[in-house]
Structure 1
Amino acid sequence: MTERFDPGGLGKWTDESRFEVTRERLIEYAKATNDPIPAHLAGDVASPVFAIVPVFESLMEPALEVVPVGLFGRIVHGEQEFRFHRPIRPGDKLVSRARMTGYEGLPNGTRGTIHLECRTDDGDLVNEQYVTLFVRGFDTGETRGELGPDHKFDEGLRAQAPVAKVNQHVDDDQTYRYAPAAGDPMPIHLDEEVAKDSGLPGIIAHGLCTMAFTSWALLTEVAGSDVDRLKRFAVRFAKPVLPGQDLTTRIWRAGAGSYAFETTVGETVVIKDGLAEFAE
């Protein structure tokens, strides 16, 4: 294959996309992720991973400038990181844009980073996001630009007991509730046949839905359910989660206001390299 990533597309911002936040949409998202936090269920403030919704339209657009179109079917969402400057609230009028900042060819594929920023229509920064995409089975043969920030789990933390362990259940209808709430209608989450044709065992949960579960696990256990305190939240998606499965998230203290976490289904790690940083 002679296709190559185009470094000339790095750093190019997409056109701005706009999103007006309603209380109803915040409530719908909280319910779709089984979020128990009263302020989220009332729509007074967004749950953290709702931040993906206003930028979703721009999520993959920058990759069109860099990744050959013929490889788009091989792209998977590898990692997600949020940097929160303030929470999203009802009535916010948000403006988002995105750019691809770098990529790295590896023996089993190529990973790339998309940087998104979300502002109010007055220009105040609300959040930044780093999306790591992975193009399976294609090594572009070089490294260019900048990749996303590191949030690797410190294996030395396993020598100490977790400060918390949270058990959660993914409902059988979770994907059907999450898809409209998030604006993510990808058929592998909704159509059994399409999922199996893609090599999956069946419908899988949205990775960002699983990430939302972990966010409220952290908030309720170590932050008094106060989303204003959350400043950074990052994960690596390790394995798909299926509707009906049970999640266990273990949380370790990693420093002042910093917590590492990992989520499993049985013995299988589904979310790894989890990191949450809170204002003290």
Structure 2
Amino acid sequence: MDKKTACAHVPDPKIFDFTSRDAIIYALGVGARAKEDLSYVYENNESFKVLPSFIVAPGFEAMMLLGWPGIEFDLPRVLHGEQYIEIYHPIPSEGKLKSEARVVDILDKGSAALILSNITTYDESGKKIAMQQFSTFQSGAGNFGGERTSTYEIKALPVPDRAPDAVIEQKTTVDQAALYRMGSGDMNPLHVDPEFAKMSGFKTPILHGLCTLGFATRHVIAAWADNDSDRFKAIKVRFSSPVLPGQTLVTETWKNGNRIHFQSKVKETGKVVISNGYVDLHKASEKPTVPSDLASKL
């Protein structure tokens, strides 16, 4: 890893051209349903909106580390460690978005290098609508003499040590990853190709971490923001364990003012798959509202 070269590289901005159809496919990919989420899956709905986590689609397209100067990139050894998203203005329902990517730091974690990449996205008028940080581990690329911590790193936060205030659960489908990759642009074969999954150390293809993030985003907005994505401000997560398509996601939430701490588990195994997560809302509801069919049955 050559941190100086990687951080100095300024790639051309990426233009992401999309329509409401793309936003709807993404919403379906993260479990949105026509009954409760019509405003996210029907373009003619008077309240049609784009889920804030859809911003990962233009962000992912801009953050292509393969071929990035100074980066040793080996796709089968890449692990998405953490993600931060902050939305400054609602994402438009269609148009062109311009995203600028920068590697802001590379940390030496011994057995791996941790690459911190920031992506800033603008609408067609030049207004900044979002910023996100991808934290990517490159296994086997550590021990290059770098720092272990960084002031650029946006930290995850532990959840409170008490019973959650609201719990939401939703079963994924066996085809969840295949659908999500179509809506997000994350075409990593790890999530659909059994042979590639084995090369990466998994018995079977796994769900995208960002798909799990999308489910959690929806769950928190539904429970604590009356399903109004305009009240969403930011999300931070740490990916702790893989999810298999078809497993049930359980999102445990704790209210702390306008910050909703959360973690996601797999119901069938009890494993925490997103840890130290939080969502910041512009205004959180005083009490949660959870659709009856998503109320936890734990």
CA RMSD, 1 decimal: 1.9
* 3-state SS of paired residue (2:178): helix
Note if contact 2:77-2:200 (Cα within 8 Å) is conserved in structure 1: no
Pick which of 121-130 and 134-143 moved more: 134-143
* 3-state SS of paired residue (2:177): helix
For residues 123-157 of structure 1, the C-alpha deviation after alignment (integer angstroms, 9 at most, x for no partner) is 10010000101122322221286432112214xx1
Structure 1 consecutive aligned stretches of length 4 or more whose deviation exceeds 4 Å: none
Matching residue of 1:67: 71
Matching residue of 1:88: 91
Q: Structure 1: how far apart are the matches of 2:236 and 2:150? A: 21
Using the aligned pairs only, state the percent identity. 28
Q: How many residues end up aligned between the 2 structures?
A: 272
Matching residue of 2:277: 274
User: Are residue 46 (structure 1) and residue 43 (structure 2) matched?
Assistant: no
Structure 2: unaligned runs, 5 residues or longer? 284-298
Matching residue of 1:161: 163
Matching residue of 1:181: 183
Aligned mate of 1:23, from 20, 25, 34: 20
Please give the residue correspondences for 1:115-194 in structure 2 after superposition, counting only pairs within 5 Å.
115-137=118-140, 138-143=142-147, 146-154=151-159, 157-158=160-161, 160-194=162-196
Shift of 1:41: 1.2
Q: Structure 2: how far apart are the matches of 1:145 and 1:121? A: 33
Q: Structure 2: how far apart are the matches of 1:72 and 1:201? A: 17
Structure 1: unaligned runs, 5 residues or longer? none
For residues 158-209 of structure 1, the C-alpha deviation after alignment (integer angstroms, 9 at most, x for no partner) is 1x32111011111011111111121222111111122123210201111111
Matching residue of 2:206: 204
Q: Structure 2: how far apart are the matches of 1:116 and 1:214? A: 21
Length-normalised TM-score, structure 1: 0.91
Length-normalised TM-score, structure 2: 0.86
User: Are residue 247 (structure 1) and residue 249 (structure 2) matched?
Assistant: yes
Give the structure with the larger helix fraction.
Answer: 1
Q: Structure 1: how far apart are the matches of 2:150 and 2:245? A: 38
For residues 87-133 of structure 1, the C-alpha deviation after alignment (integer angstroms, 9 at most, x for no partner) is 21223321111000012212332212100000012210010000101
Shift of 1:11: 4.6
Matching residue of 1:10: 7
